[in-house]
Amino acid sequence: MSSTKILLPNGTEYEQPIGLFINNEYIGGTGDSFEVIDPSIDKPILSLKGASTADVDTAVSAARKAFDEGPWSEINPKECSKQLFKLAAIIDQNRSLIAAIDAYDLGKPYEAALAGDLDESVNVFEYYAGWADKIDGKSIETSVEKLCYTVQEPLGVCAQIIPWNFPFMMLAWKVAPALACGNVVVLKPAEQTPLSAMFFGKLVQEAGFPPGVVNILPGIGSVTGKALAEHHDVDKIAFTGSTATGRSIMRSAASNLKNITLECGGKSPLIVFEDAELENAVHWAHVGIMDNSGQVCTSTSRIYVQERIYDSFVKAFTAYTERNAHIGGPFEEGVTHGPQVSRVQSDKVVAYMEQATRDGAKAIIGGHRLDRDGYFIEPTVFVNADEKSTIVKEEVFGPVVTISSFNTDADAIAKANDSPYGLAAALFTEKVSRAHRVARRLKAGMVWINSSGDSHYGIPFGGYKSSGIGRELGSYALDAYTQTKAVHVNLAM
């Protein structure tokens, strides 16, 4: 196996695979080279050779053979369930190391990666392991002379492209349901954060999955991702990332009408009504935008506060943010706020903040890049932003929030829905009737009442409008990775 020793900043040394994982083996890539950077100090971790178009062909062929001819095509659901439970247990045994790898690669606080991302990842694999032997069809009565029944069948070769903001957790969200439904996988991790996905191949080997069932291709999106999206022997593509890239993948997938799941961008509103419990609203509004340094697709980056309490909320929110945003490297004690993932992402966030200032918005805290090594951006709060301005309309994907006021419930709903996105929304009120009425009128795939950013492996995740197509998690993900066959039986013979 091609690997290299990496000494993590917390003193842990481990063997990092550095090749492509195809047919249960690590092999050298033949595509473009790229560097993996430690974003907390702006220094290279290592250099990798990515997957070329030819490497994609090799991986897809291995997956196709495993699905059509290999033992995976004949595996019974109970055995599939056992293998997934075994894989979940192996992930659990390695949780500290995987969390450290993601913290190093992404720059997020280690404790957040361990308690949040890895807990979720283990739960997701266990959840779908439990589903693997419970995916069934039904019989449908039509007449005494006919019998009809349905079966849920796997789609086949599933290409999965995951983002950099939650590297291992996003892997779990995609790989676990696909395998539970009997599919095979060709996974492309983000080039910014490929290390934990590459390490995952070792766990797949240890769990005893047959060759070709799971294949992992680090590489450049415009090469590896594009080749997967266009490949005519790929049956499904599941993507999480920007809306612009999602549109590009959708166009490529149209060449052979691939089944698609797209989880794309967001510009989620958070509404605070005058009867809300202020301290609770402030806490969750902070979590909703500053978690993961603002690098979350569901970030509630537009806050709307009813006029009567607007000044009080702004004062309390800024004070809370200044008090609770502890900036530093991923392994520093007490850190809650890490760097942006890359220089490119950091520059984009800075450009958005500069444009907001030119457009007349005022940064009452933050608004700058920190003068230190790494890609650190100050937690930033803008007020006086025009509702048509770039900072209000476009996804920044950083620790930047706008706070505006509203008058009536209708005003709040109109402002919240005035967006091309519809991934999530949050609202804060003590009135039960208002909470449910407003939740029904918000054009979003997920609505949080008196909290923000909640996610659970049993609850569907996905959005409206330009935020994507389809749902992940829960039983809803089973629909995304199966197709229904109807069998008609003539009994009148």
Instruction: Let me know how long the chain is.
Output: 493
| Residues carrying CATH 3.40.605.10, the chain | 3-264+467-486
Residues facing residue 140 across a β-bridge: 148
- Quote the CA–CA distance of 124 and 234 in Å, as a whole number: 24
pLDDT of residue 221: 95
Identify the architecture of domain 269-449 in CATH.
3-Layer(aba) Sandwich (3.40)
Residues 6+ positions from 410 with CB-CB distance below 8 Å? none
The reported pLDDT for the residue numbered 384 is 97
Report the amino acid identity of residue 397.
F
Is the domain spanning 3-264+467-486 CATH 3.40.50.300? The answer is: no
- pLDDT value for 1: 56
User: Could you list the active site residues?
Assistant: 263
Q: In what order do the strands lie in the sheet with 482-490?
A: 139-143, 146-154, 482-490
Q: Token digits for 124?
A: 């997701």
Give the per-residue pLDDT at 70. 85
Low-confidence ranges of the chain (pLDDT < 70): 1
Which DSSP string do the residues of 134-190 spell out, in sequence order? -----EEEEETTEEEEEEEEE-SEEEEE--SSSHHHHHHHHHHHHHHTT-EEEEE--
Where residue 250 falls (left for φ over 0; alpha for ψ -120 to 50; beta otherwise) is alpha
As a whole number of angstroms, the distance between CA 275 and CA 463 comes to 28
Cα–Cα distance measured from residue 460 to residue 455, given in angstroms and rounded to the nearest whole number: 9
**Over the chain, what is the mean pLDDT?**
97
The torsion angles phi and psi of 375, rounded to 5 degrees, stand at -110, 60
**Tens digit of each residue's pLDDT (9 = 90 or more) over 450-475:** 999 999 999 999 999 999 999 999 99
pLDDT of residue 181: 97
Q: Residue with structure tokens 């109970």?
A: 78
Report the predicted TM-score, pTM, of the whole model to 2 decimal places.
0.96
Q: Where in the chain is the domain with CATH 3.40.309.10?
A: 269-449
Q: Which residue has the tokens 């706008």?
A: 402
pLDDT confidence of residue 2: 83
Q: Tell me: the pLDDT tens digits for 301-359?
A: 999 999 999 999 999 999 999 999 999 999 999 999 999 999 999 999 999 999 999 99
CA distances from 85 to 91, 152, 156, 308, 316 (A): 10, 22, 21, 53, 46
For the segment 125-163, what is each residue's pLDDT rounded down to a tens digit? 999 999 999 999 999 999 989 999 999 999 999 999 999
**Residue 210 · residue 66 · CB < 8 Å:** yes
